[in-house]
Amino acid sequence: MRESVGQLAGLSPARASASRFKHAPNRSSHAREMIDGISRHLREDAALGKLNDICQELSGLTLVILMRVDNEIVELHPAGRDECLPEFCQAYRSTVRGEERCRTCRSLVAFSACYRGLVEFACHGGVSVIAAPAVRRDGTRSERIVVAACLFAQQPHDQGWPLIRKYARDLGPNLKRLKQAYFELPAMSSERLHTVREVTEAAALLAGAAEELFESDLGQSGTNRAAQDLESCWPGIELTRDPSYKPQGGSVGSVLVGQVTAMVKRDPSMPFTVKSVAEAAHVTPNHFSMLFRKHTGQTFREFLSEQRCFLACDLLRDVRIPVGEVARRAGFRDSAYFSRRFKTVTGKSPTEWRLSTAEFESTRERSGAIE
């Protein structure tokens, strides 16, 4: 199913494709307003269009904006440019199964960037994209907008084509067309790759400004709203178990564990449990625990409590927050368990760590004053 943003938002020149996750709700009036508002700002931002032109001129890559709305990923193109996906993507999407797999992969790109920041993602087709979440003025990452630069070959074309053909064979695209499109994809030198990263991050800053402007128009405020909602995390995990997704390199288990670890690191204070994560991934708790330990060397509970301790380290820098409150904000229900686990992870009790950090900060300030 392909829809234009013009149909969704009343803006006929812009186009997008959207994918629905399982059990995704119907678009609400707020969601439609979101698409209309943000796409309007993106269309009116000539700077984004200019960055896209620069990216194409310097590297041959195209900027695409991925926007998450009601558990859907909507695909936009900067400054009202007509849909300009690479021929490789169009060849892949020429069949129903190819389009389904491509959408799943795009959604994984969006979730990975939201959780991890700037990422280089190897897609199912044996090629790569670079993606970065929109960034607000205060430095916080958007939960719903990602800018992606696509596509480029990961290795010499003659070496990469056998893998491309292998992954595409069960999808039914025209292999002659796909091969020609693949050999036309740019191969990135380290210098070009650095330039693409810089352009993508610059575009992400502009997209973040557009999001903020839209929110101010609606009278919204605050950041990380979606991060406070555990349910908003599950689509990113469900995608790794989507039958249409076939990871390029590695395994589905490694992709699943990678998504989970990135999600936990983003906000470890959320009430994650083995059971809830396993349910989202459509596997049994025992199977998820086995996969997690296999790919990380830790149990999920050990990893989660470790990440919560790292969050507590930051919170303890503020001496106005009682240790018990630090434990609660970091996601620990039991202050005594928090203290024991914190000492295991850091080698110091929370109070000892706070004192040593305060002494270090004080020494550094005095050193700076002397200089």
Distances (CA, A) of 119 to 78, 110, 125, 193: 20, 10, 17, 12
Give the pLDDT band of residue 166 (cuts 50, 70, 90).
confident
Locate all alpha helices (DSSP H) within 117-251, ordered by sequence: 157-168, 175-184, 190-217, 234-238
Token pair listed for 248 = 């390029």
Is the pLDDT reported for residue 272 higher than 90? no
CB neighbour list of residue 201: distance below 8 Å, 6 or more residues apart: 118, 132, 135
Domain with CATH 1.10.10.60 in the chain: 238-370
Q: Are the beta carbons of 207 and 131 closer than 8 angstroms?
A: no
Give dist(CA 262, CA 249) in Å, integer: 19
pLDDT of residue 70: 62
Q: What per-residue confidence (pLDDT) applies to 102?
A: 81
Place of tokens 């368990």: 337
Cα separation, 207 vs 136, in Å, equals 8
pLDDT of residue 232: 57
pLDDT band at 364 (very low <50, low <70, confident <90, very high): very low
* For range 97-106, the mean pLDDT: 81
What is the predicted pLDDT for the residue at 35?
64
281 vs 301: CA distance, rounded Å: 17
Q: pLDDT tens-digit profile of 198-217?
A: 999 999 998 888 787 776 65
CATH (one of 1.20.1250.20, 1.10.10.60, 3.40.50.300, 3.30.310.50) for 238-370: 1.10.10.60
For residue 160, which amino acid is it? G
- Terminal Cα-to-Cα distance of the chain (whole angstroms): 63
Q: What is the mean pLDDT of residues 9-36?
A: 43
More reliable by pLDDT, 338 or 112: 338
Contact 330, 311 (CB under 8 A): yes
Would you state the structure tokens that stand for residue 66, as one six-digit string?
């991925």
* 87 pLDDT above the threshold of 90: no
User: What is the overall mean pLDDT for the chain?
Assistant: 76
Range scoring the smallest mean pLDDT among 6-20, 138-152, 183-197, 234-248: 6-20
Mean of the pLDDT values across residues 184-210? 89
Q: Is the pLDDT of residue 14 over 60?
A: no
